[in-house]
Structure 1
Amino acid sequence: MSTDKHRISRVTTRTGDGGESGLADGSRHSKDAPVFAAMGDLDELNAALGVLRSHALPADLDAPLDEVQQRLFDLGAELAVPGMLRLTDGDPETLEHHVNALNDELPPLKEFVLPGGTPAAAWCHMARTIARRAERQLVHLHHTVPQNPASIAYLNRLSDLLFVLARALNLRHGHPETLWRNPHG
């Protein structure tokens, strides 16, 4: 007899066919509830990071993204189990460390950068915008159900990381950044 436990034994349960879904604590809510909107944005962000990582990134740039994907699942667990705290103040600090290290490699910005560049850099920008949306949704949820401040800060730092990561990828691949041509600047 196997002692392996399976977290998911059935994918199709039909329990959500009426427009409700359940959290891990057993409570049921409408599928358009803010908690599910936040969870959906986190899921979309994690999927976008998966696409980004499929671009065979250099190991020093891929490793932090592996850790980010793990932390996004932890953040999802916080949402699925009200009151659970998984992220700590150290998690956004870790991202900030990565941001600072990458930013030290980059030339100073003289103007805003348009999203794009190499395919991987473009995916960084796409993931960055999804991270911003996920952050907004988590803040929206926080107004009615208090959320972990470290989790909100984490998403804020993550969008910063993805921005500098896009710049670093373009620089390492010799792809010039496209700067905003500010007509008033």
Structure 2
Amino acid sequence: MKIYTKSGDKGETSLVYGMRVPKYDPRVEAYGTCDEANSAIGLALSHMPEGNEWQEFFSVFHIVQTKLFHIGAELATPAGKEVGWKIEEADVEYLEKMIDKWDAELPALTNFVLPGGCPAGAGLHFARTVVRRAERKAISVGEQLEVNPVVIRYLNRLSDFLFVAARYVNQKMGKPEPTLHQNEKKQ
């Protein structure tokens, strides 16, 4: 099987069920941004050390990346068609559970956290910003077409999850997270 199909050479792509749309279609933008976020997560995870102490962390992220892939499938499914992997409220609750678990191990925030830290932590911060963009694009699609409202909640919670995960990784790796100090001179 060849990886290239040549079916997109004229600026169109297929949604699930074969419906053809321009590559700039808002649904394509939304699910493409989810794919970009998923890739950013994968890149961040590639900077993580291996070992039993991180086994749960990687297991959680395997679930998260799979759900993000499912969100892309939902956004690529035309109205009136059924999606195979529907995001459910339990998926949002899972993120909340992990946020609470990891956040309980972190020091309280006293300043705004700047993206950075170790490469994995900085990468998770970057992934968070891409998820925020995916959320905005999914909301935009939802203004024109029906979008599962749980998809929007999941993306919103996913950005919170990635923020906490970045802080968690930085702390576990012993890398101080950069913060915005309130007493710095205003420019």
Give the TM-score, by structure 1 length.
Answer: 0.90
Identity %: 42
Q: Does 1:68 align with 2:64?
A: yes
Q: In 2, distance between residues paired with 1:39 and 1:132?
A: 13
Partner of 1:154: 154
How far has the Cα of 1:183 moved from its partner? 4.1
Partner of 2:77: 81
Partner of 1:4: none
* Total equivalences in the alignment: 177
Unaligned runs of 5+ in 2: none
Q: In 2, distance between residues paired with 1:23 and 1:101?
A: 37
Residue type of the alignment partner of 2:56: D
* Cα-to-partner distance string for 1:43-84 (whole Å, 9 max, x where unaligned): 101111111221235122221110011111111111222243
Is the contact between residue 46 and residue 69 of structure 1 (CA under 8 Å) also seen in structure 2? yes
How far has the Cα of 1:42 moved from its partner? 0.8
Partner of 1:95: 95
Partner of 1:22: 14
For 2:55, which of 59, 62, 67 is the aligned residue?
A: 59
Partner of 1:11: 3
Q: Does 1:43 align with 2:41?
A: no
How far has the Cα of 1:174 moved from its partner? 1.6
CA RMSD in angstroms comes to: 1.6
Is the contact between residue 77 and residue 84 of structure 1 (CA under 8 Å) also seen in structure 2? no
How far has the Cα of 1:135 moved from its partner? 0.6
Residue type of the alignment partner of 2:150: A
Alignment of 1:86-165 (within 5 A): 86-165=86-165
Q: In 1, distance between residues paired with 2:13 and 2:177?
A: 44
Q: In 2, distance between residues paired with 1:14 and 1:177?
A: 46
Is the contact between residue 95 and residue 158 of structure 1 (CA under 8 Å) also seen in structure 2? yes
Q: In 2, distance between residues paired with 1:75 and 1:90?
A: 14
How far has the Cα of 1:156 moved from its partner? 0.7
- Indicate the larger mover: 67-76 or 82-91: 82-91
Unaligned runs of 5+ in 1: 1-8
1:21 match: secondary structure: strand
* Cα-to-partner distance string for 1:73-105 (whole Å, 9 max, x where unaligned): 111111222243511111111001000111100
Is the contact between residue 32 and residue 72 of structure 2 (CA under 8 Å) also seen in structure 1? no
